[in-house]
Amino acid sequence: MRNGPISSFAAKIDMAYALGITADEVNLELNKIRKIRNLFAHAKASASLDTEPIKSIFYKLERPPGITGSYLDQFVKCGLAVDDHLEAYLVSMGETEDLRMLKKATQEDQKKEETPTDPAAKPVS
């Protein structure tokens, strides 16, 4: 691993904040995720989201409204909420298309194609 100026996850988080890419709330969430990641990466024994010291940081994560599911489901949804913010920034800068919206539209189109039609229904003219 190289030791460049933004080689660590912490440095990338700090740079995004300094450049105004992330707001205070997102910066805090990214740092909580970073701490959890580090605890997993450096654990000498088996680690889990429901064991200390990871559990105490996990419970401090800001959860999107209505979040449910297992610890892993909740952690992923918290990460996706941060990802939504970062993607919205890229979209606002014209750097990427809104991939989530494209995926949602594609899924809706597929559902329409899969929906069986009533053979007795007459076409509308």
Name the pLDDT band for 111 (thresholds 50, 70, 90). confident
The torsion of the CA quartet 13, 15, 16, 17, rounded to 10 degrees, works out to 90
Residue 119 to residues 16, 111, 116, 122, 123, Cα–Cα distance (Å) = 56, 18, 9, 8, 10
Residue of 125 and 96 predicted with greater confidence = 96
Residue of 117 and 52 predicted with greater confidence = 52
Residue of 95 and 53 predicted with greater confidence = 53
Mean pLDDT of 99-112: 73
What is the helix, strand, coil percentage profile of the chain, to 5?
A: 55, 0, 45
Q: Where are the domains positioned within the chain?
A: 9-96
* 3-class secondary-structure state, position 52: coil
Each residue's pLDDT tens digit, 7-49: 899 999 999 999 999 999 999 999 999 999 999 999 988 899 9
Those residues with Cβ within 8 angstroms of residue 96's Cβ, 6 or more apart along the chain or in another chain: 87, 90
The radius of gyration of the chain's CA atoms, rounded to the nearest angstrom, is: 20
